[in-house]
Structure 1
């Protein structure tokens, strides 16, 4: 076991099967009989179990974007539990990778892991932990994006990038007290906003392939609605949280991010299915059986953070978060595996179930846990 066994040693309990009947689909989840899923003791026992399972079942290069999301969750798990074993896992990963981002200096995916490097640096104060990130982001800011003549018309040309790139730039700017990184993040974020944000729907298209043209042509769901996928918008809302956590209160552009966060929160909350988990496609849920945990996890994280930081009305949003968290915990197996995660892809998908897991789904779950535990209910 990667994390100290004694952290996970709890009495064996029976299994309770929860059945959720949703829009045309039946979902079955197994959940340990655990009492109050909002209790601090329960969450602090669940977090290391989930971290431990994922560390013992690695997938992808540790510097990959998938693990960028996972390790963001691991750092949040450490902040919540103060587990020495979890913190050591963060140090071991960074040291093993020599604190390097992934391969491409120009791609937001490849600096997602840098968010965790910067967070650990702020505890350790070892310059080598952030110098490779600094070198990479300096190239990113100073050079044009090497597009291939496709949809890459701006640096962050897909909405998921708003979780990967902006928090890395903003965290680096705050850690080094260099405002150029904050301003660069703002410039590139707004380009993505202008290109992909639908002001009527208050949601982001994944990329230009999903933006309806002026003549009405373009890709749509089977029910005729525009395609806005759950995970992509979950990434955006998670990214907004991580930006707002860093930006100074007097930063001139902060109101833009707060307003966008509130707009999306309102829209997402209104689209929540009865069982608590959003489907892979936000506007055609009936065509996508099965709740999607990575998008739902990021939504839970963002909405809970909004309540905890007085950006969202507690009376309105707490029931949404409660419903989501109950459903999310029901998607965790007895050994700590987070299921019902949509596989990697650039559009909503249907073929996944309780045994479908991915490291970013675990990261989203851990981020959600780190905010749900703070809720005053």
Structure 2
């Protein structure tokens, strides 16, 4: 039996260690150079998104809102909330008004596809910020429809075992859990994540673009890192699948640490130093690492400097209009190293704007 003095000493040591950890984190995620604070960058990139029309407004081949718009909108909403910018928040929410009308609702795809179901993260985020149930019903219906048809092992029939799915499926199901408190949604996400980890994660912790495309493409791996992070944020410590998912997450983070460039960024093909520095994957890895350090999943002294360097590397690639440079364009699986090295680079592509906002939000969270 411990004496009362021993118990008090133990509690005191825990408090001291906790304070030291918080100080260590604040050292890595504070005192930013001019123009690099997550508050300033987050607002700039959110305003950049607000000023854009939806792709369907200018592209006659596009009928619906697309997932890069959704992911960027979600990040912008989180930044607005965390910065307390009520006016930015109001305008981001007002951007949804058209989809509350019968005509506007036709721009929300009814297709049973993970890239379209993820639309639900935005109305669910708006619901959590406003408590207006109109948004809840839209987001919840997308999460529920995703599970109308399932495989024999209980996973949505929309699952393709593409690494992108590890974010697309996870994000909408976890958001539905956050909005409703209904553990069914969390179970769906956790069960799917474990199945994908068991099937797709390679011995080094990374993920091939596809089984027949054995290349560690940056953004593809970024979707996985971001999906695991979103899930672990909400998964209770005693959840039976948490340990397996945390194992997969830490294994991935340890390998990413080895391949980070001196500029703070990761390459278009993660394990190819000759590949160009790519910012969308880097943004997703930054979000995952910052969150891991802040929540104690990762050792702060090891990963804190890497996460800081990644953020500053990203900010250095922003132009004067808050467009992120060196974003790989939309990319299907390839069958050679050269295919990935030759992919065009874009500036301001929402595949890059979105994770930059997620990273800003992660840095802003207390």
**TM (normalized to structure 1)?**
0.76
Of residues 277, 281, 286, the one that matches 2:269 is 281
- In structure 1, the residue matched to 2:109 is 103
**1:168 to 2:172 alignment:** yes
Of residues 286, 296, 304, the one that matches 1:318 is 304
- In structure 2, the residue matched to 1:228 is 216
> What is the RMSD of the two structures over their aligned residues, measured on CA atoms?
2.7
Structure 1 residues 43 and 185: CA distance shift in structure 2, 3 A: closer
Asked if structure 1 preserves the Cα contact closer than 8 Å seen for 2:120 and 2:138, the reply is no
How many residues align? The count is 316
User: Bigger CA drift: 313-322 or 176-185?
Assistant: 176-185
Once the two structures are superposed, residues 350-374 of structure 1 have per-residue CA deviations (whole angstroms, 9 ceiling, x without a partner) of 3444x62211211111111222345
Once the two structures are superposed, the pairs formed by residues 355-374 of structure 1 within 5 Å of their partners are 356-373=347-364
Gaps of 5+ in 1: 1-34, 146-151, 211-225
Of residues 225, 237, 247, the one that matches 1:237 is 225
- In structure 1, the residue matched to 2:198 is 194
**TM (normalized to structure 2)?**
0.78
Once the two structures are superposed, residues 306-328 of structure 1 have per-residue CA deviations (whole angstroms, 9 ceiling, x without a partner) of 01001110110112112211211
1:80, 1:178 → 2: CA distance?
Answer: 24
**1:335 to 2:327 alignment:** no
2:136, 2:173 → 1: CA distance?
Answer: 12
Gaps of 5+ in 2: 1-29, 57-63, 334-339
SS at match of 1:285: coil
Please state how far the C-alpha of 1:153 moved relative to its aligned partner.
8.6
Structure 1 residues 264 and 204: CA distance shift in structure 2, 3 A: same
Structure 1 residues 112 and 89: CA distance shift in structure 2, 3 A: farther
1:265, 1:106 → 2: CA distance?
Answer: 32
Once the two structures are superposed, residues 292-344 of structure 1 have per-residue CA deviations (whole angstroms, 9 ceiling, x without a partner) of 11100111111011010011101101121122112111111122211111111
Please state how far the C-alpha of 1:128 moved relative to its aligned partner.
1.6
Structure 1 residues 196 and 102: CA distance shift in structure 2, 3 A: farther
Please state how far the C-alpha of 1:272 moved relative to its aligned partner.
0.8
More helix by share: 2
- In structure 2, the residue matched to 1:142 is 148
**Runs ≥4 in structure 1, deviation > 4 angstroms?**
38-41
